[in-house]
Structure 1
Amino acid sequence: MRFETDFSKQAIDAFIKIAAIAVLVYWCFSILRPFILLVVWGGIIATALYPVVVWGNNKFGFSKGKMSGGLAFVGVLLLLIPLIAISTGLYTSGSELVTGYQDGTISIPKPDASMADWPVIGEKAYAFGIQASSNLESVLLKYGEEVKAIVGKLASLVGSLGGGFIQFIISTIIAGAFMANADKCERAFILIADRLTGEHGEALTTLSKTTVRSVVQGVIGVAVIQSVMAGIGMAFVGVPALGLWMLLVMLVAIIQLPPILALLPVIFYVFSVNTTTTAVIFLIWCIIVSGSDAVLKPMLLSRGSDIPMLVILLGALGGMAMSGIVGLFVGAVVLSLTYQLFTVWLDSEAEED
């Protein structure tokens, strides 16, 4: 009887403790949930850039705190410049568009006759361009609902893009704080991993760092390189809205699709407004950009763990569906890291058996 009473007391006591901890954990999670994605992305950035901090400390004698702050400052500047440029350009272009429409001074250039030779959409696109160039008002009246829907989607896309830039800026600042306290952060992760896994905390922390840097270099790094290469080609032929097309190329590359898919509309545009020689050269350059990952990925992704492309694709698409542009980056890295840790756990279980 006494045993049953003591057991009941211990069970009730354990239940109360577990419930209290669960409430505290849920409460803390609810408070921090708006910042979790930014903190995770900041940690990924810090993990990827920390070797630069160590290099600067060893090479020039700068303290890790100063190097971390300097990298974060440069990163914020690099993000602010396109954000300000896009905002200013949209405001100026929007004002000019509204004023031109009110004054009746907006004019659409007549499309080149070669547009009619485009496959599938050539004739319809050419006819639409001729009508728009001769009587824009009738086109707007005829396709008013479609134009409103497109404008609404573009406004939503621009708003999401601006919000993504702001999130990147906040995450970059958080990354600077993480890098300045990297030793303490690493020690905390090792202690937590030791608590969860026993004696494998340091090995798992090292594996995590290697995986994150491998994915950032081999996936995000390659996408950025391809985006810059595409931007150089588009700048050479005078493609408008250069920054938006570069961003689209980078996003397509991250989800493991050929960047040529994002460049197809640009290629059609260049063939319609430039000489055939210039357009062919641009087409060849786009093919080189799209195929460059065959050379870049083995060079960068091999510097760490080997992650299947399907895992990166699912992580990128799922992250983007869950959290937008920032989720695209975070999802690819987090799912790759989880896959790698799960694989190591399975291998360790097999060795023990």
Structure 2
Amino acid sequence: MNNSNLSDTSRSIIDAGIVIIAGMILGIACFDIIRPFILPIAWGAIIAIALYPLFNKLKTSLGGKGGLAAAILTIIGISALVIPTVTFSTSAIDAIGSVGEQLKEGTLDVPPPSEKVKEWPLIGEKTYAAWQKAATNIEGFASQYSEQIKNTFSAMLGAAASFGGVILQFVFSMIITAIFWTNAEACNRGCQIFFSRLMGDKSDEILKNSVATVRSVGAGILGIAFTQAILAGIGLVVAGIPAAGIWVLLVLIVAIVQLPPILILGPIAAYYFSVADTTPAVIFLIYSFLVSMSDAFLKPLLLGRGTDIPMLVILMGAIGGMIMSGIIGLFTGAVILALGYQVMLMWLNTRQTKPQESAEE
């Protein structure tokens, strides 16, 4: 009898082990298959949640035609990113390629630096000396700094060319967004079931706060950063600043981590004073300040009430996401880490209140 019970127990353990191993193998295989789609799906879900109020209003104005509303917003969203991205990428690649060819042939005409360059803090003297050498002896300058120039041009060309992949990912994400919008009720029910199994009685509150967090960071912080980057790009293109696409990307990164874009546009304005007449240089400087301060009236429009997320969380999410997944990760990383931070706080608060409630009873 004991041997029989022991045999049954061993058999149950072996069966359970086989089931667990088979489940792990199947789970790993499924994860490997869907891994290339995780980032676009995450980005599509973020856009869908952040812009759902706009989609709902458009759907209502179109008489409840959700498919048509989703198609219109998808086309607008793709155009809003693809057109500026292609423009800035082409501008950057053309400018870098042209400068590279002229530098190789020794025909690059570098204007002499202004004496004001020496007054730049920390780097003024060295920048003036290197700039002066480039203006008077471009071949000697290219020979002396050949390795640094080669690495810089390679990195800039790679960054500009990578925008092509970003565009494809964004187009795919917008298509996924349209699918989420047209199946909003089913997606909402699925999220409610998932959060109910995960969080129990607090699932509705946590789901509501999670949606608020995504909208706050997605439509607020990222929307403001994207708007400032586009405005900065327009000014850079009009001013004829070389490699405008690269500077737009830097402005975008700085704006996402909630720092003023003037950190990027300020040095460019100082450079523009050295190569342009005073009037256009002053206009560009004023425009740069306006772009940098535009978040003062953009935040009430896009951010709303939302939720407060520490800047460090946004910074870590944006930079970590970009390191892990490129430009798209710059957006998704900030939102996902902010959401994880908010859910963790809600979970901790839930765990803290339970012992207190039991003590009161």
What TM bracket, shorter-length normalisation? 0.7 to 0.9
Q: Displacement of 1:290 after TM fit?
A: 3.4
**Unmatched 5+ residue regions in structure 2?**
356-361
How many aligned residue pairs are there?
A: 353
93-102 vs 130-139, greater mean Cα deviation? 93-102
287-296 vs 35-44, greater mean Cα deviation? 287-296
Secondary structure (helix, strand or coil) at the match of 2:162 reads: helix
326-335 vs 230-239, greater mean Cα deviation? 230-239
Q: Letter of the 1:162 partner, please give it.
A: G
Indicate the residue corresponding to 1:185 in structure 2. Answer: 187
Q: Displacement of 1:103 after TM fit?
A: 6.7
- 1:70 matched to 2:72? The reply is yes
Question: How far apart are the structure 2 equivalents of 1:163 and 1:232?
Answer: 23
Q: Displacement of 1:266 after TM fit?
A: 0.7
Indicate the residue corresponding to 2:39 in structure 1. Answer: 37
Q: Deviations over 1:193-217 (max 9, x none)?
A: 2233334444433322211001112
Secondary structure (helix, strand or coil) at the match of 2:35 reads: helix
Secondary structure (helix, strand or coil) at the match of 2:241 reads: coil
Q: Deviations over 1:228-272 (max 9, x none)?
A: 443455456443433432221111111233322222331221221
Secondary structure (helix, strand or coil) at the match of 1:257 reads: coil
Q: Letter of the 1:207 partner, please give it.
A: N
Question: How far apart are the structure 2 equivalents of 1:337 and 1:281?
Answer: 40
Q: Letter of the 2:273 partner, please give it.
A: F
**221 and 153 in structure 1: CA distance in 2 versus 1, 3 angstrom threshold:** same
- 1:167 matched to 2:166? The reply is no
Question: How far apart are the structure 1 equivalents of 2:230 and 2:15?
Answer: 61
Contact kept in structure 1, 2:254 and 2:260, CA below 8 Å: yes
Question: How far apart are the structure 2 equivalents of 1:86 and 1:197?
Answer: 45
Structure 1 vs Structure 2 CA RMSD: 2.8
Q: Displacement of 1:88 after TM fit?
A: 4.0
Question: How far apart are the structure 2 equivalents of 1:79 and 1:293?
Answer: 20
Question: How far apart are the structure 2 equivalents of 1:274 and 1:60?
Answer: 50
**Unmatched 5+ residue regions in structure 1?**
none
Secondary structure (helix, strand or coil) at the match of 1:321 reads: helix
Q: Displacement of 1:54 after TM fit?
A: 0.6
Question: How far apart are the structure 2 equivalents of 1:199 and 1:186?
Answer: 17
Q: Letter of the 1:76 partner, please give it.
A: I
Contact kept in structure 2, 1:69 and 1:180, CA below 8 Å: no
308-317 vs 287-296, greater mean Cα deviation? 287-296
**267 and 97 in structure 1: CA distance in 2 versus 1, 3 angstrom threshold:** closer
Indicate the residue corresponding to 1:331 in structure 2. Answer: 333
**159 and 263 in structure 1: CA distance in 2 versus 1, 3 angstrom threshold:** same
What TM-score do you get using the length of structure 2 for normalisation?
A: 0.85
Contact kept in structure 1, 2:195 and 2:203, CA below 8 Å: yes
Contact kept in structure 1, 2:91 and 2:245, CA below 8 Å: no
User: Identity, % of aligned pairs?
Assistant: 44
Question: How far apart are the structure 1 equivalents of 2:159 and 2:57?
Answer: 39
Secondary structure (helix, strand or coil) at the match of 1:198 reads: helix
**26 and 345 in structure 1: CA distance in 2 versus 1, 3 angstrom threshold:** same
Indicate the residue corresponding to 1:79 in structure 2. Answer: 81
Question: How far apart are the structure 1 equivalents of 2:263 and 2:96?
Answer: 28
Contact kept in structure 2, 1:68 and 1:179, CA below 8 Å: yes
Q: Letter of the 2:268 partner, please give it.
A: V
Question: How far apart are the structure 2 equivalents of 1:292 and 1:268?
Answer: 21
Q: 1:46 aligns with which of 48, 63, 66?
A: 48
**306 and 31 in structure 1: CA distance in 2 versus 1, 3 angstrom threshold:** same
Question: How far apart are the structure 1 equivalents of 2:279 and 2:106?
Answer: 36
Indicate the residue corresponding to 1:256 in structure 2. Answer: 258
Indicate the residue corresponding to 2:127 in structure 1. Answer: 125
Indicate the residue corresponding to 1:350 in structure 2. Answer: 352
Q: Displacement of 1:62 after TM fit?
A: 5.3
**343 and 122 in structure 1: CA distance in 2 versus 1, 3 angstrom threshold:** closer
Indicate the residue corresponding to 1:157 in structure 2. Answer: 159
Indicate the residue corresponding to 1:17 in structure 2. Answer: 19
Question: How far apart are the structure 1 equivalents of 2:93 and 2:276?
Answer: 28
Q: Deviations over 1:112-155 (max 9, x none)?
A: 34334434433433343333233322222222122112112212
What TM-score do you get using the length of structure 1 for normalisation?
A: 0.87
Question: How far apart are the structure 2 equivalents of 1:310 and 1:120?
Answer: 27
